[in-house]
Structure 1
C-alpha cells in the first residue's frame, strides 16, 4: 500500500530523514488541529512565516496527515490573493508608487479571501485563485473546489499580523523607506489597511501557527534560495530577480517582518522555531 507521507517526501525532493520532521512536528500539529472543536466548517488555520520558512511544505503535509484522519483540508495562500499586476500599477499611480510591488498589506484582494471563506462555510463550489510569481500576475485559471471542506489552511508571510503603533512608523528602517517613502505615506497606509480589511480576514482564524525564523537575515538567505529555484524552473521568466532587485524587494517586507518576529510569538497558538536549514529545530527537552 502506498504511503502518502513517503510519496510527498519524494515528490518534494526532500531527504528520507525529513520523516523525523513529520513525526516530531507536523504529526502533533495535525493531531491538535483534528482535536479542535468543530464549531464550524471549515475551521481556519492561519500559518504565518517569513519567506522561505516552509509554509507551503507544511501545508502539503498537513493536507495529507489530516486526510489520514478523514479530515479534508484545502490550502489558500495569501500570495494567491494578490491584486493583478494591472490593479497594482493603478494603485501605484493613484496612491503611492511603492504599491506596484506585491507583498505588503494593500496589495491583496482581501474581499476575495473573505468571499472564499463565506463560500466554503455555505458549502458552495468555488475557484481558488492562483498567482504566478514568474509572471508577477494572477493566473488565468484557478483551482476548482467542490464538496465540503473541513479545514482551510490560510498561509502567508503576514497572516495574523497586527498593526504597529503609529509612533513606530515615524523613523524609516531601511533605504527604501528613507528614499522612496520619506513622508511615511506608504507605510502608514500599509498599517491602516492591516487594521481594517486584513483584520477582518485574520479574525476568521481559529488557530494561529507561527513558523519563526531567527531574524531578518534568515529571511534574506531563504528568499534568495527561493529565487534560485524559481530561476532554475523558469529560466526565461521575465520577472526573476537578481541580487539587487531581490534586496529592494525584501525591503518592502522588512518593517512588518521585524514587527511580527518581535510581537507574534507571545500570542500565536503554536510557535515552531525554524533553523538555518529551513527545517524546524528539534523540540526542547524537559
Structure 2
C-alpha cells in the first residue's frame, strides 16, 4: 500500500492545489483492495483538514434491509449492493462539506451488522479542505438493461433467476447513487487484476476482524467464515466486474494492482 499511497498522495496534492476546496475525492476498489488504508494514509499525509466517509458507513440496518427484502427481493436483506445504503444521508453530508458546515460522520459496525448510534458518530466542527469518500462501488455506472439478462454466478442463477434483484439494484445505481457520485470532484480507482482475487482478499479481512474482535473482548465468531465469504462476495461480483471493465477509461487516476496488492502501473 505504500506505493499506492505515494502515487495517490502526489496526484491528490496537485488536485488540492488546483482546487476546488473543499475537494471531494472518491476512492473506488473491490473488497480488500486497500481503500480504507489508502484513505487513512492520505488524510494523515496531505497536511490539510481532511475527513473520511466510507460508503460502508452508510449501510442501512437489518430492519430497513428486511423491509427491502420483503417488498422487493429477499437478497436485499444482505448489505452491500446499491439500495442497501442511506444515499440521502451521504448526499446531505457531502453538501454540508461543500458549504463549510459542521458534519457528523456515521459509522457502521460490521460485526453486529448495524449502524452505530448517532452518539458514536465522528463530529467534524471545522470546515474541511478534503473529504474522502471511499467504497467498493464509489463512482460506479449502471449497466445497460440487456447486460442484466444473463446471471454472472450461482447466486444470481439460483436466487435471482428472473433478474428482479439485479434490475432493482441497477435502477438504484442509475438513479440516487449517481446523484451521490456526481458530488465527487476527482475519482481514483484501485483496480484488482480480476474478480478472482477478491475472495482471498475478503477472507483475509475477516481473519483480521476475528483478531480485532478478540482484542475487544467480543466473540470472534461474529466474523464470517470462509464459506460465508464465498457466498457474500457473489452479491458484489456483477458490479465489481463492470467497474474493472469500464471505470479505468474515465477515472481521474487508476492504480493497477497485482494479486498481492502491489502496484503494477498507473494511468
TM-score band (shorter)? over 0.9
Q: Deviation at 1:19?
A: 5.2
The answer for the alignment partner of 1:276 in structure 2 is: 259
- Distance between the aligned counterparts of 2:25 and 2:255, measured in 1? 15
Structure 2 partner of 1:43: 23
Instruction: Name the SS of the counterpart of 2:18 in structure 1.
Output: coil
Number of matched pairs: 261
Which residue matches 2:160? 181
Residue by residue, what CA displacement relative to the aligned partner does 1:85-113 show, whole Å, maximum 9, x if unpaired? 21111111121100011110000000000
- Structure 2 runs not aligned, ≥5 long: none
The answer to whether residue 79 in structure 2 is matched with residue 79 in structure 1 is: no
Helix, strand or coil at the partner of 2:134: strand
* Closer, same or farther: CA 20–81 of 1 in aligned 2, 3 Å: closer
Residue aligning to 2:246: 263
State the match for 2:90 in structure 1: 113
With normalisation by structure 1, the TM-score equals: 0.87
User: Given the superposition, is the C-alpha separation of residues 283 and 265 from structure 1 closer, same or farther in structure 2, using an over 3 Å criterion?
Assistant: closer
Residues 135, 237 of structure 1: 8 Å contact kept: no
Instruction: Give the counterpart of 2:9 among 23, 27, 47.
Output: 27
Residue 7 of structure 1: aligned partner: none
The answer (yes or no) to whether the contact 1:89–1:99 under 8 Å persists in 2 is: yes
Contact 2:257 2:265 (C-alpha < 8 Å) held by counterparts:
no
Which whole-Å CA distance do the structure 1 matches of 2:174 and 2:2 have between them? 39
Shift of the alpha carbon at 1:73?
Answer: 1.5
Partner of 1:3: none
Q: For 1:57 and 1:77, how far apart are their aligned partners in 2?
A: 11
Task: Establish whether residue 102 from structure 1 lines up as the match of residue 79 from structure 2.
Answer: yes
Q: Deviations over 1:16-75 (max 9, x none)?
A: xx655544x24323323322322xx422111000011111111111112221xxx21111
Cα distance in 1 for partners of 2:147, 2:2 equals 42
Q: How does 1:169-208 map to 2 (within 5 A)?
A: 169-208=148-187
Contact 2:3/2:262 (<8 A) preserved: no
CA RMSD of aligned residues (A): 1.6
1:237 CA drift (Å): 4.6
Displacement of 1:122 after TM fit?
2.5
Return the alpha-carbon distance in structure 1 between the equivalents of residues 31 and 171 of structure 2.
23
What CA distance in whole angstroms lies between the structure 2 residues aligned with 1:244 and 1:136?
18
- C-alpha contact (below 8 Å) 1:30/1:65 kept by paired residues: no
CA contact (8 A) 1:210 1:270 kept: yes
Asked which structure has the greater CA Rg, the reply is: 1
- TM-score, with length taken from structure 2: 0.93
Between the aligned partners of 2:151 and 2:4, the Cα distance in structure 1 is 39
Structure 1 CA distance, aligned partners of 2:151 and 2:18? 41
Instruction: Give the 4+ runs in structure 1 shifted more than 3 A.
Output: 18-23
Distance 1:255 1:266 in 2: 18
